[in-house]
Amino acid sequence: MKTTSLFVAVSTVAIFSYAIGSSALADDDAMMDVDDNAASFSGAWPTSTNRILYYGDDYQFASGTNSSTITAEAVYTTAATLDVTGKYQVFVRWTTHPNRASNASYRVYDGPADTSINGSCFKDQRVNGGAWQFCTEVSLTAGNRAVVKLGNNANGVVVADGVRLVRVSVDSGDIVDNSITSTDILNSTIRDYDIGDEPGVEYAAASSRNIATISTNPNSRTNLTSFTLTAPTSGYVIVHAVGWVDPETAQHWVRPCISSISGGASCNSWAPIIESNTTADYENEKRYALTNVYTVSAGSSTYYLKAYRSASATGTIAWGDFYGIFVPTRY
């Protein structure tokens, strides 16, 4: 397998769709809204209509603790269970005021009983209110009711107005296929040389890892997660990773990278060393984004997100997106 230095900007998984029954992406438009009136609350959350552009009839708010302690929490749970296991984008909204928190913390769970955070984001509620704002993209399971939690562990007033979940993939990873048949050609405008050549995507579920469990040896990096993509024909695979690091130990670092080889020293695209200069809450979180384009032939290839660290580094490294988009050469 060889790599190319083509640079591609991918913010969300945008994939080709076909207007035929055998399309791999015919079912990616489900949307679920949860207003604050359908949420449950602990602690003090007064209701208000003082600020304009709220969603529904009103919004609710809580005073921030200006610490990591949560004394009031809003819990949004979807009314319906999820129909499809796969990727969902989470959007949130609030009303804007100068007294709002700059670090309102949202956490997403795969069902009411789930205790593992599937995805998270911090939002500055002093600005950009009155509209749906992208929070994160997560993997959720069919049959569960998705949960989004907003705590008052923030440096100002936090507003609970609404959340929205939008399904963006069909299943938990495998939507690369070659399901177009000769019948599809007869009944549609699909060309015969398109058989088996659809674009598609594979991905690994969002998760996190304790930095202290990662290798300190750059020649033996720790695999954080991986996915395997089976290309139906020759083409390109665009591999993208997005995540964050919360280092707890000042002056120590971790370095993630993506590779087509497990462990070892090999990396095809890597982030700069991500280092902590302070141990203060919220000031430590640092984002990373990695992209590499691989030239592939028909068959299966595995891609890895991996990392190594300095000897005394501690904290958390997380990934919200790690996916590969297959694009056939013919397109």
- What integer pLDDT is reported at residue 275 of this predicted model? 79
Same domain, 61 and 157: yes
Same domain, 296 and 177: yes
Phi then psi for 21, rounded to 5 degrees?
A: -65, -25
**Residues 135 and 179 both lie in one domain:** no
In angstroms, the CA 200 to CA 186 distance is 23
Q: What is the CATH number of the domain that holds 124?
A: 2.60.120.260
For 11, other C-beta atoms within 10 Å of its C-beta total 11
For the chain, give the mean pLDDT.
Answer: 81
Side by side, which strands form the sheet with 158-160? 47-48, 59-62, 158-160
> Average pLDDT in the 1-25 region?
36
Is residue 210 domain-shared with residue 120, that is, in the same domain?
A: no
- Considering only 61-70, 190-199, 288-297, which range has the smallest mean pLDDT? 190-199
Q: Which residue reads 């080709």 in tokens? A: 16
Pick from 103, 133, 167: which residue ends a domain? 167
Residue listed under structure tokens 């579920």: 205
21 and 38 co-located in one domain: no
Please give the Cα distance from 330 to 89 (Å, whole number). Answer: 30
How many domains does the structure of the chain reveal? 2
The stretch 122-132 carries a mean pLDDT of 92
Lowest model confidence (mean pLDDT) among 111-115, 135-139, 235-239, 271-275? 271-275
Q: For residues 273 and 308, what is the distance between their CA atoms, to the nearest angstrom? A: 10
Higher pLDDT, 284 or 260: 260
Task: Give the contacts of 14 (CB within 8 A, at least 6 positions apart).
Answer: none
* C-alpha–C-alpha distance, residues 135 and 108, integer Å: 10
Using one digit for the tens of pLDDT, what is the confidence trace for 83-97?
878 888 899 999 999
